[in-house]
Amino acid sequence: MSPLFTLKIAALFAFTALAEIVGCWLVLLWRKDGGSPWLLLPAAASLALFAWLLTLHPVASGRIYAAYGGIYVATALAWLVWVDRVPLNRIDVLGGGLILLGALVMVVGHWSR
């Protein structure tokens, strides 16, 4: 597996997670913060993009969803810091690190066979 391929897959995972988080966040803004119903249009587009991006991943879908979970958690924690302005605590970092490690084991373990 080449470094460029690994970088492309990592970027695909990150974009997939970002599309899901943005779509869900827009629904949250509409539902909980009294936002405009027009927020549902970009939310739906973002969630459709998320679903389409999942189809671009190069291995079996169940494995993608499992490994993607690790990237999603990392992206959600970054969102927590950058968008929600909530600092991470040691439990956030430890839990996120363990989840990412598990995702890495699954991905690298299957690609190196």
For residue 84, what are its two tokens?
Answer: 């929600």
pLDDT digits (tens, 9 = 90+) for 69-96: 888 899 999 999 999 999 999 999 999 9
Among candidate residues 21, 8, 26, 19, the one with its CA nearest the CA of residue 49: 19
Confidence (pLDDT) at 77: 96
Averaged pLDDT score across all residues of the chain: 88
Which sign does the torsion angle of CA 107, 56, 14, 74 carry?
A: negative
Rounded Cα–Cα distance for residues 35 and 37 (Å): 6
Q: Global pTM?
A: 0.78
- For the segment 22-48, the average pLDDT, to the nearest whole number, is 95
How many folded domains does the chain comprise? 1
Phi, psi of 34 (to 5 degrees): 65, 30
pLDDT score for 109? 73
The boundaries of the domain holding residue 16 are: 3-111
